[in-house]
Chains A and B, each alone.
Chain A
Amino acid sequence: MSHAEGLEGSSEADRNSSMMANSLTVTLLNIQVICDSSLVFNTGSGGEMQQKNLEGYVGFANLPNQVYRKSVKRGFEFTLMVVGESGLGKSTLINSLFLTDLYSPEYPGPSHRIKKTVKVEQSKVLVKEGGVQLLLTIVDTPGFGDAVDNSDCWQPVIDHIDNKFEDYLNSESRVNRRLMPDNRVHCCLYFIAPSGHGLKPLDIEFMKRLHEKVNIIPLIAKADTMTPEEGQQFKKQIMREIQEHKIRIYEFPETDDEEEIKLVKKIKERLPLAVVGSNTIIEVNGKRVRGREYPWGVAEVENGEHCDFTILRNMLIRTHMQDLKDVTNNVHYENYRSRKLAAVTYNGADNNRNKGQLTKSPLAQMEEERREHVSKMKKMEMEMEQVFEMKVKEKIQKLKDSEAELQRRHEQMKRNLEAQHRELEEKKRQHEDEKAQWETQQRQLEQQKLEASRTLEKNKKKKIF
């Protein structure tokens, strides 16, 4: 048993030995991970980070056990997709991998279910081992590559993967999130026919289209049809072609653990893995093994010299299953999500301009747009105000000017009139004066005349007498 019992009893007596036991647990783990004390931590939240030394027992070294316990209680899930032409031994391999009759006469494998068009189907099985429960979903693609015209036969596969991402995205984005089932495809085993020459155009097309959506592990099927040398050549050729077409197959995570580095190096040398599967158990040298019996011998499935099955099983199930899930979650899913959300946020907007702004959430983006809009409106308002004020001022000025002008004219006319008036008065006065003078003169003359005439009359009268 890999997990040391008794740690969870947590009675006081355990305290002194638990620290020892903790180290024991660590060594018994399948993967040796020596924690590097120079791990860099992100200190975003405000306090500066200080390294402190413990002066005695605290107990958080038990955290890994708590995590272990909870994960076992929760159970695990994994979705594996198998893709390849019919007859390549996919179902047999799955049965061999999981040592169970996943595919059986009642639940036939993809090669027995060929449809007219490529379908994507999944079956779920619940398996238990050592107290650990695993919900395994196998997705297969009956009909893949079997038609005469195989153009776009990868499309249903892409659609299936995207649908699962979409489902996860929607359930992750709900307001009320309850349990989020993880149906995303964690790994895709791609079966390459053992032609011995190289990849087929279909293989290349498929892998190119799917390497950014799912972890692809290419396998050489029915490896017992090749001799070791032929196998080597074939593998080299395939890896060359994969690199040439810039296909990114599943990469092992970086690690600082020496042993793990060695392990990974060994695996890498033997990529792509050449596998043999079998549903039958044969007796060889007194041992019961899975294998394929030929007149000339038995090809053993679990024999490392016969094929790479053991390496595949160890890698897929015993050491890197969690990492496959993590890469799916942190890389493939995040790629899908950011592409999807960017499309929704920048609906119609110029994508080049916005490439650098993907660090925001769509809501934050809307907030920012709102702020921009508010300031734009403010500016517009100010401008309009300015123009308005200016025009009003102009108009008022014009009115003032016009008023002043009219006033001026009025004043002038008034003055003219007054001048005329005065002139007239003057003339009148002169005339009056003259008239008065003349009249006085006339009167004088009249008086004189009258006197003269009277004198004359008098004289006349005197003369007569």
Chain B
Amino acid sequence: MCGIWNEEKRNLNLGGHVGFDSLPDQLVSKSVTQGFCFNILCVGETGIGKSTLMNTLFNTMFENEEASHYQNSVYLRPRTYDLQESNVHLKLTIVDTVGFGDQINKEDSYKPIVDYIDTQFESYLQEELKIKRSLFNYHDTRIHICLYFIAPTGHSLKSLDLVTMKKLDSKVNIIPIIAKADTISKSELHKFKIKIMSELVSNGVQIYQFPTDDEAVTEINASMNAHLPFAVVGSVDEVKVGNKTVRARQYPWGVVQVENESHCDFVKLREMLIRVNMEDLREQTHARHYELYRRCKLEEMGFKDTDPDCQPFSLQETYEAKRKEFLGDLQHKEEGMRQMFVSKVKETEAELKEKERELHDKFEQLKRLHQEEKRKVEEKRRDLEEEMNAHNRKKVAAETLALAQPLKKDKDRRN
């Protein structure tokens, strides 16, 4: 009901018509004024009939160029349309997977799809987390339903189908449908459906179950759940059958009428998808798939609901704690950088000092050598001087002697 209360609630009887039974009408009229939006994702191989089915389902010619088979990878193409039926405005977005199943290596085919879904969740989450936000006029692009087109082989699911659906089942509501069902006979179809459902169950793929908790729709939803996957035929061509003109596919052997329930499950799909459960699909997307995404994202970012003592955090505490952690982290980084720098400087300084010292040593040595050389030269010089002096003395002595000799000679002669 409205929530878990631990306060005493009294049940009171009204003494007359108060008038709050108009509350649902007030709510409805507000929703109608706001307009509704619905986003469908079609996953299936090229040429399996996705665009035709959309045209048939919504009774409109949506523009679609035929896709080529030569895409390098899968990409998603969203298109938004504004539809109106009676007084209800619907903003419909159809997202097509172009190139799905065409590549030789299909290992990564599911990735663009998962990324697209996550991106839409992310935008919503970002808007929700903003300080100044406007959720009530936010254009919701989250995918509400994924129609998975199964090729009508009649045997079983392809491994690409299983892999893709397994990757998508926790992110989006999946309704598997058998495309081009006019190529399968009734008995083959019955076996095919059973095979597909059992394969899905044994692989743990969670497909969307039509809700059975609201008495107004329990019966019809429960019976439809048993007809999954829906075998559909799409056509926008009109054929005259009897005195009516219906949408159908004309073959030489007969006419397959789209809206004939004994020919295919198209009507069932339309009932379930649009007329009965559209709102539930939107609700499930918001309350289950989006919440799961949000929870994972927040946990990834380190948010917790309770502190180590199991006391619940208030939002303020959470943000403050985050912020403190964040600032501490920044400071730490800054410190680290500074430290690294300081040590680098020290290192280089030491290196340069070393070089300087070596240089000095070298020159000291050279100086000493030089001094040595100088000394030697001085010594030599002194020796030379001494010798020269000695020689000079000898010279002087000899000259003095020579001067004295001639006198003696003369003396001798006289004698």
Q: Min CB distance, B51 to chain A, in Å? A: 14
Residues from chain A with a CB closer than 8 A to the CB of B25 are: 2-3, 29-31, 68
Contacts of A318 in B (CB 8 A): 19-20, 22
| Chain A residues in 8 Å Cβ range of B261 | 12
Of the candidate stretches A153-161, A173-181, A203-211, A231-239, the one touching chain B is A173-181
Q: What are the interface flags for A133-150 relative to B under an 8 Å C-beta threshold, 1 for contact and 0 otherwise?
A: 111000000000000000
Contact status of A10 and B384, CB under 8 A, knowing A41-B35, A417-B370: no
**Chain B residue nearest to A29 in the complex (CB):** B25
B330 touches A56 (CB 8 A): no
Picked from B24, B320, B348, the residue with its CB within 8 Å of the CB of A71 is: B24
- From B9, B26, B267, B388, A30 is in contact (CB under 8 Å) with B26
A71 to B280, CA, bound (A): 11
A342 to B83, CA, bound (A): 39
A73 an interface residue at 8 Å Cβ cutoff? yes
Interchain CB contact (< 8 A) of B363 among A101, A322, A410:
A410
Contact partner, B291, options A177, A342, A410, Cβ 8 Å: A177
A359 touches B131 (CB 8 A): yes
Chain B residues with Cβ under 8 A from A51's Cβ? 81-82
Interface contact B126-A47, CB-CB below 8 Å:
no
Q: How far is the CB of B190 from chain A (nearest CB, A)?
A: 22
Instruction: Report the minimum CB–CB distance from A463 to chain B (whole Å).
Output: 11
Complex Cα spacing A72 to B24, Å = 6
A360 and B18 form a contact (CB under 8 A): no
User: What is the CA–CA distance of A435 and B270 in the complex, to the nearest angstrom?
Assistant: 137
**Residues in A neighbouring B85, C-beta threshold 8 A:** 19, 54, 58-61
CB distance from B96 to the nearest CB of A (A): 11
- CA of A456 to CA of B31 in the docked complex: distance in angstroms? 164
User: Would A133 and B1 be within 8 Å (CB), given that A10-B276, A76-B20, A399-B356 are in contact?
Assistant: yes
- Bound complex: CA A340 to CA B5 (Å): 26
The reply on A286 being an interface residue by CB < 8 A is no
Q: Is the CB of B132 within 8 A of A166?
A: no
Chain A residues contacting B62 (CB-CB under 8 Å) are 52
Q: Are the C-beta atoms of B10 and A359 separated by less than 8 Å?
A: no
Q: Determine which of A44, A70, A124, A179 lies in contact with B9 in the assembled complex, contact meaning CB atoms within 8 Å.
A: A124
Given contacts A2-B25, A52-B62, A361-B129, contact A370 B348 (CB under 8 A): no
Q: Which residues 212-226 of B sit at the A interface, judged by CB distance below 8 A?
A: 214, 216-217, 220
CB neighbours (8 Å) of A58 from chain B are: 57-59, 83, 85, 270, 274
Q: Please name all residues of chain A whose beta carbon is closer than 8 Å to the beta carbon of B138 when the two chains form the complex.
A: 42
Q: Which residues in window 46-102 of A have CB below 8 A to B?
A: 46-64, 66-78, 97-102
**B267 close to A12 (CB less than 8 A):** yes
Chain A interface residue count, CB cutoff 8 Å, equals: 151
Judge whether B220 and A170 touch: CB under 8 Å. no
**A contact residues around B280 at 8 Å (CB):** 66, 70
A70-B283, A396-B352 known; A53 and B2 CB under 8 Å? Answer: no
With the chains together, A3 CA to B395 CA distance in Å? 155
With most chain A CB atoms within 10 A of its CB, the pick from B22, B84, B220 is B22
Give which listed residue, A53, A126, A169, contacts B12 with CB less than 8 A: A126
**Interface assignment of B263: CB less than 8 Å from any CB of chain A:** no
- In the complex, the answer to whether A100 meets B131 with C-beta atoms within 8 Å is no
Binds B, one of A110-118, A191-199, A264-272, A377-385: A377-385
Q: A386 within 8 Å of B by Cβ?
A: no
Residue A305 interfacial (CB < 8 Å):
no
B36 pairs with A126, CB closer than 8 A: no
| Known A57-B59, A181-B4; contact A62-B405, beta-carbon cutoff 8 A | no
User: Beta-carbon contacts of A326-360 to B below 8 Å, as 1s and 0s?
Assistant: 10011000100110111011010000000000111
Known contacts A47-B80, A399-B359, A445-B402, A317 near B18 by CB under 8 Å: yes
A222, B302: Cα distance in complex, Å: 57
Complex CA–CA separation, A396 to B353 (angstroms): 10
Query: Which single residue of chain A is at the shortest CB-CB distance from B373?
Result: A417
> Does B157 have its Cβ within 8 Å of any Cβ on chain A?
no
**Nearest A-chain residue to B276, judged by Cβ:** A10
Contacts of A98 in B (CB 8 A): 14, 18
Choose the segment among B97-105, B106-114, B170-178, B333-341 that binds chain A (4+ C-beta atoms closer than 8 Å). B333-341
Contacts of B24 in A (CB 8 A): 3, 68, 71-72, 132
Q: B132 near A35 (CB under 8 angstroms)?
A: no
On whether the beta carbons of A344 and B391 are closer than 8 Å, the reply is no
Give CA–CA (A323, B315) in the complex, Å: 28
A381 — which chain B residues lie within 8 A by C-beta? 337, 341
Of the stretches B66-74, B86-94, B192-200, the one at the interface is: B86-94
Chain A hits for B359, CB < 8 A: 399, 402-403, 406
CA of A97 to CA of B15, assembled, Å: 11
Cβ–Cβ contact B348 & A392, under 8 A: yes
Distance in angstroms between the alpha carbons of A180 and B141 in the assembled complex: 23
Q: State whether B91 touches A420 (Cβ < 8 A).
A: no
By the criterion CB–CB under 8 Å, are A99 and B18 in contact? yes
Residues of A within 8 A of B334 (CB): 373, 377
Report chain B residues within 8 Å CB of A329.
Answer: 136
Would you call A361 and B131 a contact (CB within 8 A)? yes
Partner of B323, one of A44, A45, A175, A347: A347
Question: Of all chain A residues, which has the CB nearest B135?
Answer: A330
Decide if A321 is an interface residue (CB 8 Å cutoff). Answer: yes
Please judge, given known A-B contacts A58-B274, A360-B131, A445-B402, whether A43 and B217 are in contact too, CB under 8 Å: no
Give chain B residues whose Cβ lies under 8 Å from the Cβ of A52: 58, 60, 62, 81-83
A44/B363 in contact, CB under 8 A = no
Q: How far is the CA of A128 from the CA of B18 in the complex (A)?
A: 10
Q: Does B78 contact A (CB under 8 A)?
A: yes
- Asked if B412 CB lies within 8 Å of chain A CBs, one says yes
Cβ-based interface call for A454 (8 A): no
Q: What are the residues of chain B within 8 A of A180 when measuring CB–CB?
A: 3
One digit per residue, 1 when the CB lies within 8 angstroms of any chain A CB and 0 when it does not, for chain B 375-414 equals 0010011001001100100010010001001000100100
- Asked whether B59 lies within 8 Å of A173 as measured between CB atoms, the reply is no
Q: How far is the CA of A448 from the CA of B412 in the complex (A)?
A: 17
- CB-CB < 8 A to A337: which residues of B? 131
- In the complex the two chains form, is A321's CB within 8 Å of B26's CB? yes
Pick the contact of A61: B79, B86, B93, B295 (CB < 8 A).
B86
Pairwise interchain contact B82-A41, C-beta atoms closer than 8 A: yes
Q: Is B208 an interface residue (CB 8 A)?
A: no
Q: Are B291 and A313 in contact (CB under 8 A)?
A: no
> Assuming the A-B contacts A410-B370, A438-B395, are A60 and B38 also in contact, with contact meaning beta carbons closer than 8 angstroms in the complex?
yes
Report if B130 contacts A (CB, 8 A): yes
Nearest B residue to A73 by beta-carbon distance?
B214
Q: Determine which of B88, B356, B380 lies in contact with A60 in the assembled complex, contact meaning CB atoms within 8 Å.
A: B88
Q: Mark B201-235, 1 if CB is under 8 A from A, else 0.
A: 00000000000001011001000000000000000
B158 within 8 A of A: no
The minimal Cβ–Cβ distance linking B85 to chain A, given in whole angstroms, is: 4
Q: Which residues of A have CB within 8 Å of B318?
A: 173
Closest A residue to B26 by beta carbon equals: A322
Q: Are B78 and A370 in contact (CB under 8 A)?
A: no
Of B21, B216, B370, B398, the residue contacting A132 (CB under 8 A) is: B21
Could you list 16 A-B pairs, sorted by A, with CB under 8 Å? A2-B21, A33-B32, A35-B87, A52-B81, A63-B31, A64-B31, A68-B24, A124-B8, A125-B9, A177-B294, A344-B315, A344-B319, A358-B132, A360-B131, A373-B330, A414-B370
Q: A70-B214, A361-B128 are in contact. List 4 more A-B contacts (CB 8 A).
A: A8-B217, A66-B279, A67-B27, A431-B391
B contact residues vs A (CB 8 Å cutoff):
1-5, 7-33, 35-36, 38, 57-60, 62-63, 78-91, 93, 120, 123, 126, 128-133, 136-139, 141, 214, 216-217, 220, 261, 267, 270-271, 274-280, 283, 291, 294-295, 298-299, 301, 303-305, 312, 314-316, 318-320, 322-323, 326, 330, 333-334, 337, 341, 344-345, 348, 352, 355-356, 359, 363, 366-367, 370, 373-374, 377, 380-381, 384, 387-388, 391, 395, 398, 402, 405, 409, 412
- 10 A-B pairs with the lowest CB-CB distances in the bound complex, closest first: A361-B129, A130-B21, A181-B3, A66-B279, A59-B275, A322-B26, A47-B80, A318-B19, A56-B59, A45-B141
